[in-house]
Structure 1
Amino acid sequence: MKSYQEILNYLYSQLPMFQRTGAAAYKNTLENTLALDEMYRYPHREFKSIHIAGTNGKGSASHMIASVLQEAGYRVGLYTSPHLIDFRERIRVNGEMIPEEEVVTFVEHFQQINKIARLEPSFFELTVAMAFEYFRKCRVDVAVIEVGLGGRLDSTNIITPEVSLITNISLDHTNLLGETLPAIANEKAGIIKPGVPVVVSETDENYQAVFENKANETKSPIYFADQEYSAAYSMFLPEGLQLFNFNKGKKPAFPELKTDLLGSYQRKNISGVLKTLEILREKGWQISRDDIYRGLAGVKKNTGLRGRWEIVSNNPLIICDTGHNEAGLKLVIEQLRNMAWKKLHMVIGMVNDKNIDGVLALLPPEASYYFTQANIPRALDAKILKEKAEAAGLSGKVIPPVKEAVSEARRNADVHDLIFIGGSTFVVADYFS
């Protein structure tokens, strides 16, 4: 039997991996996914599922729903991507990562049986197959499945879920999904299945009709969650929780609802989560109000989620966030501007297929910058990032290794300053690793 590290080396180096190489690893067909599903005797048919797509927030929403379902007593599979530190973060059952030996066993078995089939799956295609087979083996009651990229052609899109959730749409991966919001929405709408309810977290006139037309075509009930559940503001509590008062319409629905996810943008995600849970309850799922309160208050504890407005240190305050496109980083910057700090230090790195200039235009010019780059092929060269940043009126140093950039920021910060680490999921991952 090969070692776990040898298996990881195979997954990372032998299979095309979007997170590392970008568009070259993207498959515009479900052919391999369907072949793998047949090879493993259709494991996804043996558990119920919830499918979650969107540009931003789909990871947070997936973890929230999984946490609530765990509190309700269900055995819950959770498939998300990418991981921050350990590959096994992608595949969890009741918050516990898939064991190393299960990863080794699955991949070695695949390599053996594939000598006949001779499939050439991508990293993501094989990882989805691994997740579905592991969930079947663990006899989960339900699996919460996060879409990797897009929706229509995503490897996860062979499931028929209890409910589909689409968090929001913004311009990201435009080279693969389309240059306009309606085009991207059309790809995300691909997870809408015949007769299956679909929840859209955020109403937007730029793409609302795309979802309505698709739902009409598939005869799927459609709900725009922010038209039902809303919270005007949030408060941060001393015990490290964020408090919301959610109304349904104009009436109180979930007063003093708390979550351990501290990004103010979670207000948008929670609307979609609450509507999704409401639909599950209407379908007979045993989910109490107490389950919802406990589940949202204990997302990180129950699921292991990290990197969403995570406070990693105090004096100086250090916060990291995996927001990595214009829409996501706009909300992060708004929250930074609403905080008290003497001086702001920004440790920033990006990948090379984003709208770099659009993101840089959002960043605060008064901050001190430490331009860095994650240890992946897709990372934008820190020197190029600095050149583009200077053109946008930002100034700072080039320190390519992420941890060295953070160390330099700490040396320059006093106890009343704030250090932010982000710009890319992979920058946050390098900091944690």
Structure 2
Amino acid sequence: MQYAEAIDYLYSRLPVFHRIGAKAIKPGLGNTLLLCEALGNPQHQFTSIHVAGTNGKGSTSHMLAAIYQSAGYRVGLYTSPHLRSFTERIRLNGQPIPEDEVARFVAQHQGLIERIEPSFFEVTVAMAFAFFARETVDVALIEVGLGGRLDSTNVITPVASVITNIGYDHTDILGDTLPLIAGEKAGIIKPGVPVLIGETHPETEGIFRGVAESLQAPIAFADQQYTLRDNGIVEGLRQVQVWQDSGSVYSLALDLLGDYQLKNLPAVLATVAVLQPLFPVSPAAEQDGLAAVTSLTGLKGRFQTLQDHPRVIADTAHNRPGLEALFHTIRSLAYTQLRIVIGLVADKDRSHILDVLPQTAAYYFCQAQTPRSLPADVLQAEAALIGRRGHVFTDVNAALSAALQDSAADDLILITGSNYTIAELPNL
């Protein structure tokens, strides 16, 4: 079996979330446990760090991976969804899993897949765990797909659980209140395993403390341990001053330029600190890793500049908290006219998204080539009801071309709204 055949088989045989949404989810951990048992329970054969949260869990996972790579460890990284290639989901020291490894896994376990009938995501999780076990990684960063309690990744027993933040997203699956959503995310907390919470919130703090206490899991709220000051972008890196509750003060530089990364950074620093006895990291390795996340781990689509004059930025923000944080960064930039290329998925609660969009921007509405996409004309009509007006385009590249044609050199073009929209950009 060749790689292309393996991918075609997975997409055609299995329910895929990015195509059909919540209908692709197989409730419970049963299928993943069956897959792992048949594979020799690889999830117990490597050390892992589990990362959940509404926003920032991918960036947090990549930052931690970059730090541990810089410290000389052999690092696995599992994230989802991918942008351009399926192999991006499973990385070893920043390099995507080889295509022939994917093909080998699918060919070898085709009978198992057809017997258990798992979801696409369940198979990719099992594939990642088998790969990390075979490659004897020192540590693997495992990003939750959705929620936590019933997510397929929740068959691991990590050395630390990280929950970045809680916001409204996937409310049809996780619940429509912050405490309900927090309860699902708290499902990754394990008995006796340290848990790091990125952001303290009055509606969710009690949920996390209660679950941690019941499981005797040491808990820390990272934003209470670290205070950060943004010193702006200098020579292509965001400069950050860090005050630790111990009294130490030091500086870091991030190559992830969105100022919303300052919300993710405390959880990263707290995780590295709590795991020092297991995985010692020098201050130099921490600094080097954070200054080179994109080159070390291949992270894309996070406030990524695609060109200058006019400046074109791509960002995968796709829910209200993410977009609010994105536009906070945008407001700090200098430009004459903001032009927004945007496409959304149809199963989002758009009433919580559209009013975040700046009213003075020029809009270019598009849709990704996936069945979950909201038709661009529907998006245009809904946006017009609240005064966000623009034209409709068949895809993101046609929309970007029109925005570039309309732009002066000092305009700013932002492409956002969906991972699937960003994924179709050829120069990402």
Q: What TM-score does the superposition give when structure 1 sets the normalisation length?
A: 0.97
User: Structure 2: how far apart are the matches of 1:71 and 1:275?
Assistant: 17
Aligned to 1:243: 239
Q: How far is 1:28 from its partner?
A: 1.6
Partner deviation per Cα, 1:92-113 (whole Å, 9 max, x = no partner): 0000110010000000111134
Residue 50 of structure 2 is aligned to residue 51 of structure 1: yes
Equivalences for 1:171-190 in 2 at 5 Å?
A: 171-190=168-187
Question: What letter matches 2:90 in structure 1?
Answer: I
Partner deviation per Cα, 1:391-421 (whole Å, 9 max, x = no partner): 0101110002111110110010010100000
> Which of these residues, 210, 225, 229, is aligned with residue 228 of structure 1?
225
User: Structure 2: how far apart are the matches of 1:53 and 1:156?
Assistant: 10
User: Structure 2: how far apart are the matches of 1:250 and 1:43?
Assistant: 38
CA distance 1:411–1:276, shift in 2 (3 Å) = same
What value does the CA root-mean-square deviation take over the aligned residues? 1.1
Aligned to 1:411: 405
SS of the counterpart of 1:231?
strand
Q: How far is 1:431 from its partner?
A: 1.4
Number of residue equivalences: 427
Contact kept? 1:168, 1:200, Cα under 8 Å: yes
Question: What letter matches 2:48 in structure 1?
Answer: S
Question: What letter matches 1:277 in structure 2?
Answer: V
Residue 343 of structure 2 is aligned to residue 360 of structure 1: no
Q: What TM-score does the superposition give when structure 2 sets the normalisation length?
A: 0.98
Contact kept? 2:26, 2:118, Cα under 8 Å: no
Residue 302 of structure 2 is aligned to residue 329 of structure 1: no
CA distance 1:250–1:390, shift in 2 (3 Å) = farther
Sequence identity, in percent? 49
- In the TM superposition, structure 1's runs of 4+ consecutive aligned residues that sit over 6 Å from their partners are none
User: Structure 2: how far apart are the matches of 1:274 and 1:250?
Assistant: 13
User: Structure 1: how far apart are the matches of 2:278 and 2:162?
Assistant: 18
User: Structure 1: how far apart are the matches of 2:333 and 2:132?
Assistant: 42
Question: What letter matches 1:91 in structure 2?
Answer: I
Contact kept? 1:150, 1:187, Cα under 8 Å: yes
User: Structure 2: how far apart are the matches of 1:396 and 1:244?
Assistant: 37
Aligned to 1:155: 152
User: Structure 1: how far apart are the matches of 2:303 and 2:251?
Assistant: 20
Q: How far is 1:336 from its partner?
A: 1.2
User: Structure 1: how far apart are the matches of 2:278 and 2:103?
Assistant: 38
Q: How far is 1:139 from its partner?
A: 1.0
Aligned to 2:95: 96
Aligned to 2:39: 40
Contact kept? 1:323, 1:423, Cα under 8 Å: yes
User: Structure 1: how far apart are the matches of 2:245 and 2:229?
Assistant: 12
Aligned to 1:107: 106
Which range moves more in the overlay, 56-65 or 242-251? 242-251
Contact kept? 1:399, 1:405, Cα under 8 Å: yes
Aligned to 1:263: 258
User: Structure 2: how far apart are the matches of 1:193 and 1:165?
Assistant: 11
Aligned to 2:395: 401
CA distance 1:114–1:11, shift in 2 (3 Å) = closer
Residue 272 of structure 2 is aligned to residue 273 of structure 1: no
Aligned to 2:337: 343
User: Structure 2: how far apart are the matches of 1:250 and 1:298?
Assistant: 27
User: Structure 2: how far apart are the matches of 1:250 and 1:234?
Assistant: 22
Contact kept? 2:162, 2:196, Cα under 8 Å: yes
Q: How far is 1:234 from its partner?
A: 3.5
Question: What letter matches 1:21 in structure 2?
Answer: I
